[in-house]
Amino acid sequence: MRTTVGIVGAGPAGLLLARLLHTAGIDSVVLESRDRAYVEHRQRAGILEQGTVDVLRAAGAGERMDREGLRHDGIELRFDRTRHRIDFPALTGGRSVMVHAQTEVCKDLIALQLKEGHPLLFEAEALAVEDATTARPRVRYRHEGRDAVLECDYVAGCDGFWGIARRAIPERLGRTFERSYPYAWLGILADVPPSHEELVYARHDRGFALLSMRSPSVSRLYLQVPEGTDPDDWSDDAVWTELERRFETDDGWRLERGPVTQKSVTPMRSFVHEPMRHGRLFLAGDAAHIVPPTGAKGLNLAVGDVVTLARALIHRRDTGSDQLLDAYSATCLRRVWQAERFSHDMTALLHRTPDAAPFEDRLQLARLARLTSSRAAMTDLAECYTGFPLG
């Protein structure tokens, strides 16, 4: 098989890239190792920055998001049993975020791709990217029990942190930057309306907790737990009791309980691979970088990368110039490092390290007090949370 852009991975990065290229008249083939149901139901991110919302609308994939997504104009920070709201539009000149699950974004992008008859192969596992530094890079893959080759002009490695694309970059030509954290998130999905209309980020001496949502009738809640925690060690009742403790306030706020439909543990990691390009192979999304989820940036970074890549490929087609392709890695990394910084700072601000000294606890509370009383500090948070400029 032959195509202009071979895309490895049908997560948000690969699917949106295929869509952006298609609307510009550039053909691509998407290879995805898992089946469609798995990709459509994998619970992950849920906060779309303003820029991501705009891109999905412009790509013709925003109709259901606009109908079912929940516009959020702020978040609540909770510590010392008190509540503090950060008002995004008031601090940023009108920007907000959209709560709309990654699963739903992927479902819509898959439906569009298949409806218009563009190649998206499920259960097609890429085995290797070869000849990346030549004019004819190739992806070797296995589909329906047979080995095959996808010949391309360009390859987009959108295959997530555990994918194979990054391995095509020789170690001596790349550099990785990494931080792991001594805690993880135990997340539940529950069939109960969210107890608060906006996300609540709670710092507590027992650890961090987050109240989030997927829809007006489905809550998504997280607890900081030690790394390596087995979700089965937590009964539903124990999760709710711990959430109640960490969200408790002096004003009588109550957390509504409901049936838990899913429980999982997410490790926390910061990771960046530089550069994000090797010859005609371009890494995008989690294949190139990971952020801890505290800043809600993972999905949005993936969108930023593929917008930059699509723009560069269109520029190449229209002008014959490689200028934007050559700038791809540096352009993306500027935004990536801002998101890494913000995600790391939010994580450090709100989580309690297992061996935290009392002095560090006091500093953390002083930082939160400053953040919720200074307009300059709140503006910085609001600007970062609602998103860094694309491209």
Residues 182, 326 contacting (CB under 8 angstroms): no
Q: How far apart are CA 291 and CA 268, in angstroms?
A: 8
- Decide: is 297 part of the binding site for ligand FAD (CB under 6 A): yes
Catalytic residue among 72, 196, 204, 278: 72
Q: Of 12, 51, 194, 207, which lies in the binding site for ligand FAD, with binding defined by CB under 6 A?
A: 12
Site for ligand FAD in 25-84 (CB under 6 A): 31-34, 39, 44-45, 47
CB of 376 to ligand FAD, least distance (A): 26
Catalytic residue among 141, 181, 183, 385: 385
Q: Of 3, 52, 102, 224, which lies in the binding site for ligand FAD, with binding defined by CB under 6 A?
A: 102
Of 59 and 375, CB closest to ligand FAD:
59
- Decide: is 6 part of the binding site for ligand FAD (CB under 6 A): no
Site for ligand FAD in 215-274 (CB under 6 A): 266
Residue type, position 213, single letter? M
Q: How far apart are CA 25 and CA 184, in angstroms?
A: 43
CB of 163 to ligand FAD, least distance (A): 4
Residues 77, 208 contacting (CB under 8 angstroms): no
Q: Please choose, from the candidates 4, 280, 7, the residue with its C-alpha nearest in 3D space to the C-alpha of residue 133.
A: 280
Catalytic residue among 201, 278, 292, 351: 201
How many of the chain's residues bind ligand FAD (CB under 6 A)? 32
- Decide: is 100 part of the binding site for ligand FAD (CB under 6 A): no
Of 268 and 368, CB closest to ligand FAD:
268
CB of 277 to ligand FAD, least distance (A): 16
Q: Of 21, 75, 126, 272, which lies in the binding site for ligand FAD, with binding defined by CB under 6 A?
A: 126
Of 23 and 266, CB closest to ligand FAD:
266
Q: How far apart are CA 8 and CA 30, in angstroms?
A: 6
Q: Of 69, 207, 285, 292, which lies in the binding site for ligand FAD, with binding defined by CB under 6 A?
A: 285
Based on the residue annotation, tell me whether 385 is a catalytic residue of this protein: yes
Burial of 257 (0-12, 13-18, 19+ CB in 10 A): middle
Tokens of 176: 């990785």
CB of 220 to ligand FAD, least distance (A): 8
> How far, CA to CA in Å, does 101 sit from each of 17, 41, 131, 365, 390?
18, 10, 37, 31, 21
Based on the residue annotation, tell me whether 201 is a catalytic residue of this protein: yes
Catalytic residue among 194, 293, 328, 351: 293
Q: How far apart are CA 2 and CA 44, in angstroms?
A: 32
Strands of 175-190's sheet, edge to edge?
82-87, 74-79, 199-202, 209-215, 218-226, 175-190, 260-274, 289-290
Q: Of 56, 211, 296, 333, which lies in the binding site for ligand FAD, with binding defined by CB under 6 A?
A: 296
Q: How far apart are CA 202 and CA 373, in angstroms?
A: 17
- Decide: is 292 part of the binding site for ligand FAD (CB under 6 A): no
Q: How far apart are CA 90 and CA 96, in angstroms?
A: 10
Residue appearing with tokens 């990065």: 13
Stretch of 10-18, 237-245, 247-255, 356-364 contacting ligand FAD, by CB under 6 A: 10-18
- Decide: is 8 part of the binding site for ligand FAD (CB under 6 A): yes
Q: Of 74, 160, 207, 387, which lies in the binding site for ligand FAD, with binding defined by CB under 6 A?
A: 160
Number of H helices, E strands in the chain: 11, 19
Decide: helix, strand or coil at residue 272. strand
Based on the residue annotation, tell me whether 22 is a catalytic residue of this protein: no
Q: Of 155, 211, 223, 302, which lies in the binding site for ligand FAD, with binding defined by CB under 6 A?
A: 302
Based on the residue annotation, tell me whether 107 is a catalytic residue of this protein: no
Q: Please choose, from the candidates 75, 85, 368, the residue with its C-alpha nearest in 3D space to the C-alpha of residue 205.
A: 368
Of 158 and 333, CB closest to ligand FAD:
158
Q: How far apart are CA 361 and CA 60, in angstroms?
A: 47
Of 213 and 378, CB closest to ligand FAD:
213
Residue 129's φ and ψ, nearest 5 degrees, are -100, 125
- Decide: is 276 part of the binding site for ligand FAD (CB under 6 A): no
Q: Which residues form the interface with ligand FAD (CB under 6 A)?
A: 8-14, 31-34, 39, 44-45, 47, 102, 125-126, 158-160, 163-164, 266, 285-286, 293, 296-299, 302
| Active-site residue set | 72, 201, 293, 297, 385
